Structure 1
Amino acid sequence: MALTPQNNEAFLREVDEEYRREQMIGVWQRYGRWIVVAVVALLVAFAGFLFWQHRERVAAEKEGETLQTAYDYLGANDFKGAAKPLAELAQSSSDGYRTLALFSQADVLLAKNDLKGASAKFAGVANDTSVAKPFRDLALIRQTAAEYDTLKPDVVIQRLAPLAVQGNAFMGSAGEMVGAAYLAQGKRDLAGQTFARIARDKTVPQSLRQRAVQMAGVLGVDALPQDIAASRGMTE
């Protein structure tokens, strides 16, 4: 009996479905165990990732509490009480908490007039390539400030000249020490240019810019910016 076009199409569809079913059964029989292993491995990896995230969050919360404890002690000028939590955080795997702890330890040492110890802490941050560059730059500036009286002028210039440029966030602080180092070398022209650059940079704190204007003026460079000139005119 001949099949009608409709029956023929239905028959072909049944054959195709049966073929696919046999293919799937064959694939499962051949690779089923490995598929199960792969799925289990993915589930274990995902569970491990979730557990790691949880541990990281818990650790971060704990370290945040430790930092707050240290700051509470520091706020009360209890350096001895702050020593233990800061020492703990200084060993943290978190760059942020470790850096804050080292800066705080250095500030405590500065308060005790231990310039050598403070500069060593700042140097630890400045030389740590895992720390973000702005923090490393700030640490280098503070290290240099702590060591300034013991450094040769060319060392100060070598360290800080790359930061004493327009557009750098620490241009004012770095530039002031570079300008002073040029003066110590007898290079009045370079010192004057450096102080003038600070005075004309509106991103630099105004108190620092005013000092730079005075220093530049002493060195024969007119560096009075319009905004400072206007403020002076209003007070006269």
Structure 2
Amino acid sequence: MADIFREVDEELQQERAATLWKKYGGWVIALCVGIVLAVAGNVFWREYKANQRAEQAAAYAEASALLGQEKPREAAEAFAALADSGDAGYAAIARLSQAAALVDADDIPAAAETYMAIANDSSVPAPYGDLARLHGVRLRIGTANAPTLHSDLAPLLTPGNAWEPLARETEAAISIQEGDIDAARESLKLIADNPETPGQLRQRASELLQALGG
């Protein structure tokens, strides 16, 4: 009889956690996409000012304008063309923008594939490659198998990595999806107990922990 109650309790915990993840997951993805675009714009214009790459600057501006016109599919294609033809110095930025545009176009499989291609490109600077990896894993939660997702996420789970707190949260989400509540609690506790974790992320982790009975 005790086993039955424990199973029911685990199911309720998973249901509460899933509800919270639905509440905050979209916000997290939107935040990360915003970070991508902000970083892309900042790096691009710094590069442009230094090298006066006017033609490529115009191409990037045109692709960005398509986003403003609510044409994310066309914008993704324009960013992809720029990444293929532009200098290596900011090809990765164009790819990140392409992937973000694909998310806006609701083409999640293509966006995830693009993000993971960036992540696995050794020529991409670590902060951008790591951010792409985080996106690529998050977008595949619920479609890819859990061991693959854990393996893809592993490089971000090292102390000092800029994206470690969000990677820990992602790790917890993967564990929830596969029904490993103990592992999810462990990941969330690492977030909540870390004084360097941003406040909003610590709050989310604490709420998820509470939902999981942690």
Does the TM-score normalized on the shorter chain lie above 0.5? yes
Counterpart in the other structure of 1:183? 176
1:109 and 1:63 mapped to 2: Cα distance?
Answer: 21
Counterpart in the other structure of 1:142? 135
SS at structure 1 position matched to 2:194: coil
Confirm whether residue 71 of structure 1 aligns to residue 64 of structure 2.
Answer: yes
Counterpart in the other structure of 2:164? 171
Counterpart in the other structure of 2:111? 118
| 1:214-229 matched pairs, under 5 angstroms | 214-221=207-214
Among 110, 116, 128, the alignment partner of 2:121 is 128
Give the C-alpha shift of residue 93 in structure 1.
4.9
Say whether the 8 Å CA contact 2:72–2:104 is kept in structure 1: no
RMSD of aligned alpha carbons: 2.5
1:90 and 1:203 mapped to 2: Cα distance?
Answer: 35
TM-score (norm 1): 0.61
Say whether the 8 Å CA contact 2:118–2:129 is kept in structure 1: yes
Confirm whether residue 103 of structure 1 aligns to residue 90 of structure 2.
Answer: no
**How many percent identity over aligned positions?**
31
Larger Rg: 1
- Count of equivalent residues: 165
Give the C-alpha shift of residue 205 in structure 1.
3.3
Give the C-alpha shift of residue 189 in structure 1.
2.8
2:125 and 2:76 mapped to 1: Cα distance?
Answer: 25
Among 152, 161, 182, the alignment partner of 1:159 is 152
Q: Which runs of 5+ in 2 are unaligned?
A: 1-49
Give the C-alpha shift of residue 174 in structure 1.
1.2
Counterpart in the other structure of 1:208? 201
1:85 and 1:112 mapped to 2: Cα distance?
Answer: 14
Query: For each residue in 1:100-140, what CA deviation from the matched residue of structure 2 results, as whole angstroms up to 9, or x when unmatched?
Result: 22122212221222111111211221121111112111111
Counterpart in the other structure of 1:82? 75
Q: Which runs of 5+ in 1 are unaligned?
A: 1-55, 222-236
2:140 and 2:88 mapped to 1: Cα distance?
Answer: 25
Say whether the 8 Å CA contact 2:67–2:75 is kept in structure 1: yes
The runs of at least 4 aligned residues of structure 1 exceeding 4 Å deviation read none
Q: Cα distance 1:106–1:84, how it changes in 2: closer, same or farther (>3 A)?
A: closer
Q: Cα distance 1:85–1:190, how it changes in 2: closer, same or farther (>3 A)?
A: closer
TM-score (norm 2): 0.66
SS at structure 2 position matched to 1:183: helix
Give the C-alpha shift of residue 210 in structure 1.
1.0
Q: Cα distance 1:63–1:165, how it changes in 2: closer, same or farther (>3 A)?
A: same
Query: For each residue in 1:24-67, what CA deviation from the matched residue of structure 2 results, as whole angstroms up to 9, or x when unmatched?
Result: xxxxxxxxxxxxxxxxxxxxxxxxxxxxxxxx945x33212221
Query: For each residue in 1:175-199, what CA deviation from the matched residue of structure 2 results, as whole angstroms up to 9, or x when unmatched?
Result: 1121122234443332212101112
